Structure 1
Amino acid sequence: MTQIKEQPRRSTTAGRRPVGKVLPGDARRHHRALILQQLVDHGARSRADLARETSLTRVTISDLVAELIEEGFLIEQGTRPGTHMGKPATLVGMSEDAPVAIALDLSADGHLTGAVVDLDGKILTREQVEFSRGDDIAVIAGLAVRLRESTPRRILGVGIGTPGIVDGDGTVIIAPNLGWENVDLAAQLSASLGLPVHAGNDSNVAAVAESAFGAGDDQGMLLLMIGSGVGGGVLIDGRALSGPLMSSGEIGHVVVDPGGRQCSCGNRGCLETFLSAPALSLLDNDDDRRHVGTKLATVLTPVVTTLGIADVVLYGPTELLEGALLESVRAGLAQQTLPFVAQRVQVRLVPMHDELVLTGAAALVRYRELGVV
């Protein structure tokens, strides 16, 4: 009788996060986040408004609002205008002197930009220093220290947008453009600065910024960041995707021409070798720009179709992207997707001067420290 070898069963919990007991501190942090999210999204509210909108008790709201006022996040803004029966409601809102974040942008070639950014994504001060492949992290720490000394306000934390694959702890697994591999960026800076530090892929944090502070559709958005390299950030159902390999959005290293130019990652003919700002600046006619746009559309089509994305953002130098290239991307997507999809997908430009990596790095701090998206 032939024996059938039993195959090992795959665990049904593979890849899931362990579920632990919810501690009182976790619930309190969640309730604080609910209050702050309401005020960030909708402006000043009364305590009664907050209780109704968050489904928290008035006692809990009163306690947490008092705590947030004491910590400098909130301020009482007087009574609601208009005539009401009974005692007028006192409104609370975000304080103009609330804690701020230090944001650092490593995405550019040859320089590092840092800024002090408030909780609304407003850049208060900024500074730029030279930073090239192989430079020491001490350069980054030095800029962060100067930014910290430039503001009297409390620093909530430090956010960093960096090229490459970045894990949840802020370690840069690999960043070919910086020559980094397994660099524990967040941990090293946190030890140096004595502050919480959070690092993420530059394109991912830019996508978060376009959602939090811009016009991005966080239910389904792909942001393609085009600079010295090319990266992508994907938001689906309000969450940034990373995947088990933490490489979601590394669209610049999709090979579109195996016989093409050498890429910094080691392959030949990556999309980045056609679409990066240095490569685009060499194009001198619309036919070449249309050719690149068509290649980009071919790469974008399966992503847009598979994930059901309705908002495609090209974030980069508008003088290189608008016109023939943008038109060919739109035409290519329309030809290669279902008519239902083509009619609903928008492809738009966001200029580099919006500084999405800086504001996205601040948004990363806001989320990790306060739970506010």
Structure 2
Amino acid sequence: MITGDAAYIKKINRSLIISKIIEHGMVSRADLAKITGLNKATISVQAADLLAEDLIIESVQDHKNLGRRPIMLSINQQAGFVLGIDLDKHSVAFALANISGLPVQTDTIQLNTSDYEVILEVLTKQINAYKQQCSHARYGLSSVVIGIHGIVNNDEMIYFVPQHSWHNKNLKVDLQTKTGVNIYIENNANLCSFAEKVYQHHQSENLLSISLYSGIGLGIMVNGDALRGYHGYAGEIGHMIVVPDGIPCSCGNRGCWEQYASESSFMKQLSEKLNTIDLKYDDIQKLIMAQEPITCKQLKQYIKYLSIGLNNIINLYNPEILVINSELLRIYPNAVTEIKNNLTSTISHYCELLVSELGNQACVMGACAFGIKNFLEVSTISLTLNDGRLS
């Protein structure tokens, strides 16, 4: 049984009320009392506080019935903003969203270096520009959340980023010093799984999200929270060995799963076999549609190795929902069917396996949602997008 003083109980009630206002978009005080189980007096006091803080607004709902029109409560979208960042090997993606989770602006900057100081300056310049852009709002740019394609510990220190060869970088402190903004550092796969939970699968309590882009990362949501492990390093599933003494990996081992089932490895191997460079997803889609023999054979091999790793993950975690985040699989017809046909073990059990609808925007979307959750100090959050993706 949860106990606490009056201030603690008030904080719990506040979190619950904000969560339900976000979830329902617009809701009256009377309906809020029914939804939360709190009495009307508590709702009124909390609503008054949130109105005074400019976190919510009131509006009168039009209706055709006789009687007084209900006053609706909703999140004040212009109270503040959050910035989500996906820091990958060759690019940095930015998404600015208001505190109701709606995107305001998206940008992408290409990287041609792995030098930490250079990238730090790129991030600093962009964050400060967004900060200035949001200065009109009461809470301005409330937080910045950065998804890292590497190992991040529980103190938000970057332990290792294989693609950039970074070791022990305190990007959080470096950026906070240079920008004066609250910075959060998180593993990108964790943010992807959080996005799936917040935007797509609200009711799922046991969700896994696998990202297959420059490497392979696993985000694990158990009972609605991320499973991070003792140091925060859980989910580095791309370095599970699937081929003993196989292809060398930047982690120091050989035969790691991401050398066979990441999109970057597929692109590299297909480019070599086709004797071409700079393959794009559009090129691969055309090759698939034309049933080009080398491409089709390579895809079959790719699905085989992908399925080996998925089988191991399913046996380890017995997920309710297993989401695969992959642009390659989005353009490959019957990808999910082929994967399921390879999962023939009578031991492996899962309820649903699907390719993410959020695609390569999942990380920045999860980052924005994570920033909103921290800013509003809510325990749970459910958001929606009109078209399911950032514009």
TM-score by length of 2: 0.80
Partner-residue secondary structure (3-state), 1:305: helix
Q: Distance in 2 between matches of 1:274 and 1:296?
A: 8
Question: Shift of residue 88 of structure 1?
Answer: 4.2
- 2:338 maps to 328
Q: Measured at CA, do residues 286 and 234 of structure 1 come closer, stay the same or move farther in structure 2, by a change above 3 Å?
A: same
Alignment of 1:166-245 (within 5 A): 166-215=152-201, 218-245=204-231
- 2:99 maps to 119
Q: Distance in 1 between matches of 2:160 and 2:359?
A: 24
Q: Distance in 1 between matches of 2:97 and 2:63?
A: 31
Contact 2:329/2:335 (<8 A) preserved: no
1:100 aligns with 2:107: no
For residues 80-118 of structure 1, give each alpha carbon's deviation from its aligned partner in whole angstroms, at most 9, with x where no partner exists: 635366x54311112232321011111x22221222112
1:41 aligns with 2:23: yes
Q: Distance in 2 between matches of 1:84 and 1:309?
A: 50
- 2:310 maps to 300
Alignment of 1:1-373 (within 5 A): 22=4, 25-79=7-61, 81-83=63-65, 87-106=68-87, 108-131=88-111, 132-136=113-117, 137-151=120-134, 152-153=136-137, 154-215=140-201, 218-281=204-267, 282-283=269-270, 284-318=294-328, 322-323=332-333, 326-333=336-343, 335-338=344-347, 341=349, 344-350=351-357, 352-353=359-360, 355-370=361-376, 371=378, 372-373=380-381
TM-score by length of 1: 0.84
Contact 1:322/1:349 (<8 A) preserved: no
Q: Measured at CA, do residues 247 and 351 of structure 1 come closer, stay the same or move farther in structure 2, by a change above 3 Å?
A: same
For residues 113-163 of structure 1, give each alpha carbon's deviation from its aligned partner in whole angstroms, at most 9, with x where no partner exists: 222112343321122224432232232122111122223332221111111
Contact 2:162/2:251 (<8 A) preserved: yes
Question: Shift of residue 64 of structure 1?
Answer: 2.0
Contact 2:329/2:355 (<8 A) preserved: no
Question: Shift of residue 322 of structure 1?
Answer: 2.3
Question: Shift of residue 364 of structure 1?
Answer: 1.1
Q: Measured at CA, do residues 169 and 62 of structure 1 come closer, stay the same or move farther in structure 2, by a change above 3 Å?
A: farther
Q: Distance in 1 between matches of 2:335 and 2:39?
A: 54
Question: Shift of residue 219 of structure 1?
Answer: 1.9
Question: Shift of residue 186 of structure 1?
Answer: 2.0
Question: Shift of residue 168 of structure 1?
Answer: 3.1
- 2:384 maps to none
Kindly tell me the number of residue pairs found equivalent between the two proteins: 349
Contact 2:94/2:108 (<8 A) preserved: yes
Q: Distance in 2 between matches of 1:300 and 1:217?
A: 23
Question: Shift of residue 79 of structure 1?
Answer: 4.0
Question: Shift of residue 230 of structure 1?
Answer: 1.3
Comparing 67-76 with 360-369, which one deviates more in the overlay?
67-76
Contact 1:80/1:90 (<8 A) preserved: no
User: Structure 2: 5+ residue runs without aligned partners?
Assistant: 271-293, 382-391
User: Structure 1: 5+ residue runs without aligned partners?
Assistant: 1-19
